Amino acid sequence: MSINVKKIKKSNLNQFIKLPYRLYKKDNNWVPPLYSTMRDMLDSEKNVFLKNGDHAFFLAYRGKKVVARILAGYDEPVSRKTGIDNGYFSLFEATDKESGLAVLDAAVNFCKSIGTVRILGPHSPTNGEEDRALLVEGFGFPPVLYHTYNPEWYQDVFIYFGLKKSNDMLAFKIEIDKMPIERFRTVVSYAQNRFKFAPYKLDLKNLDSELKDIQLILNDSAIDEWDSGIPTWEMIVQAADSLKTLADPDLIYIVRKNDGRPLAFVVCLPNYNEVLIHLKGRLLPFGIIKFFYWRKKIKSVRVMMQFCVEDYEKTAAVSCAYLAIMEKALEKGYNWGDASTIGEENTKSWRAVKGAGGKLYRRFRLFEKEL
C-alpha cells in the first residue's frame, strides 16, 4: 500500500504526539514523555522557537494508519546569525524505511518552499536540549533526561536520503564515587583564594535576579561562536520555566566574584527519566502516585549546561561549581551522572569532563543537506 504524506493542522497534533507511543510500545528502554509536556512543547503560542519561524507538521499514512512523522521549519536564530536561510527537521519517527523517506522528502520540500538553502536535523523543537540529534552510538539502555532515543536503522535511512554528518555531540558517564574529589578540592580551594570567587546555590525565591546573572554570564562567554547566537531573555525565561519543576537548587550553582560579578554557572538536574519510564506518558489518575514514589529512588543526574565568562575560563570557576554539585550529589545518594551533550569540536569542555573521570558512552549526530 502506498504512502500518503499530509501536512496536518493543530487539531491533528494528538496523532503526531501518539505515534512513538505505539512504535516503542514493546521497547523496554524507551522513556515515554508526558502527553501534557509534548502538547505544550508543540504549541506555538508557548514555544518561542516555533512562534518565531514558519513551520509545519507532517504525518505519513499507509491507508488510514499513521506510519511516520516529522516537523520541519525555518531556523530563525541560525538564519539571523549567519545571514543564510536555514531550515530544520525535528521529531522524526518512522515505521520503516519507505515511510521515513517519505516524511524526510516532505520536510525538504517544505523548507525549499519557504526559501531555505540547507536543512539540518534532527533539531530540538525548542532550540534547546530536547530531542536534539540522532543517537548513533550507545544503544541498549534507557536515555537520560532530554536525550534522544531511536532505533539504530534510522541512521541508514538518513544516509540513503542523502543527509550527511554535520557534527557529533558527545555524552560522558561519570561515576560520582570514583571522581577525584580530593584533587578537585585542592584545585578549587587554590583558585577561590587566588581569584576571589565562591559558589552560590540557585535561589529559586529570587529567580528573575538569578536568571539575569545567568544572562550576564552568557553575554560575556564565548557562546557567540555558536551559529544560533546568544539566547534572548525570552528564550532564557522559557528554558527556566520548563526546567524549574524538575530543578533541585542543590544541583545548580552560580559562581560569583567577591564583588558580586557572576562568572560561571552549572545546571545539573536529577535524571527524571528514571521516573518517567514507569508512568506511560500520564500523570493522572495514578501516575502522580508513581511519580512521587519513583522520584525518591532516582540514582543519576544529568549535567545540562555549563558556561563561564571568557576572561575567567582558565581560573577553575566552572570546577568550583562542579565541586559544590558533586558534594551535594554524594550527600543525596546519587551514584552516577551524565555530562552531555558536548560538541565534539568543543575539546575544552569534553577534556575537562574526561579529566573529572568521565567516559564517553553515547554519541549523537546532526545531519545536513544542501537544498
**3-state secondary structure labels for all residues of 114-149:** CCCCEEEECCCCCCCCCCCCEEEECCCCCCCCCCCC
Measure the CA–CA gap between 343 and 169, rounded to whole angstroms: 4
Per residue, the 3-state secondary structure of 4-61, as one string, reads: EEEEECHHHHHHHHHHHHHHCCCCCCCCCCCHHHHHHHCCCCCCHHHHCCCEEEEEEE
- Asked if the model's pLDDT at residue 224 lies above 60, the reply is no
Q: What is the mean pLDDT of residues 327-337?
A: 91
Q: What's residue 347's pLDDT?
A: 83
**Of the candidate ranges 161-165, 257-261, 309-313, 364-368, the one whose mean pLDDT is the lowest:** 309-313
Of 101, 132, 163, the last residue of a domain is 132
Report the pLDDT averaged over residues 178-186.
82
Inter-residue long-range contacts of 184-192, CB under 8 Å, 24+ positions, other chains counted: 184/319, 184/322, 184/323, 184/326, 184/356, 185/323, 187/316, 187/319, 188/316, 188/319, 188/320, 188/323, 190/316, 191/315, 191/316, 191/317, 191/319, 191/320, 192/320
Query: Residue 255 belongs to a domain with what CATH number?
Result: 3.40.630.30
> Which runs of E-coded beta strand occur in the chain?
3-8, 55-62, 65-74, 86-94, 118-121, 134-137, 164-175, 197-201, 252-257, 262-270, 300-308, 336-343, 359-370
**Domain carrying residue 95:** 3-132
pLDDT at residue 307 tops 90: no
Residue type, 109: N
The residue out of 82, 114, 132 marking a domain boundary is 132
Same domain, 338 and 201: yes
pTM of the model: 0.89
**Position 169 in a domain:** no
Do 58 and 181 share a domain, yes or no?
no
Residue 242: the pLDDT is 65
Looking at the predicted structure, is the pLDDT value of residue 178 above 80? no
pLDDT of 77 higher than 90 = no
Confidence (pLDDT) at 162: 98
- Are residues 25 and 87 located together in one domain of the fold? yes
Indicate if 126 and 180 belong to the same structural domain: no
The whole-number pLDDT of residue 44 equals 87
- Is the pLDDT reported for residue 310 higher than 70? yes
User: Would the pLDDT of 69 be above 60?
Assistant: yes
Q: Does residue 111 share a domain with residue 198? A: no
Question: How far is Cα 304 from Cα 147, in angstroms, rounded to an integer?
Answer: 10
Place of cell 501534557: 36
pLDDT score, position 70: 98
Average pLDDT over the chain, rounded to whole? 90
pLDDT band at 142 (very low <50, low <70, confident <90, very high): very high
- Do 335 and 189 fall within a single domain? yes
CA distances from 272 to 29, 144, 294 (A): 14, 8, 9
Choose among 351, 357, 352, 318: nearest CA to 335: 357
Q: Which residue has the cell 577525584?
A: 180
Number of domains the chain is built from: 2
- Judgement on whether residues 208 and 107 belong to the same structural domain of the protein: no
pLDDT tens profile 252-288 = 999 999 999 999 999 899 999 999 999 888 877 777 8
Q: Are residues 110 and 33 in the same domain?
A: yes
341 and 243 in one domain?
yes
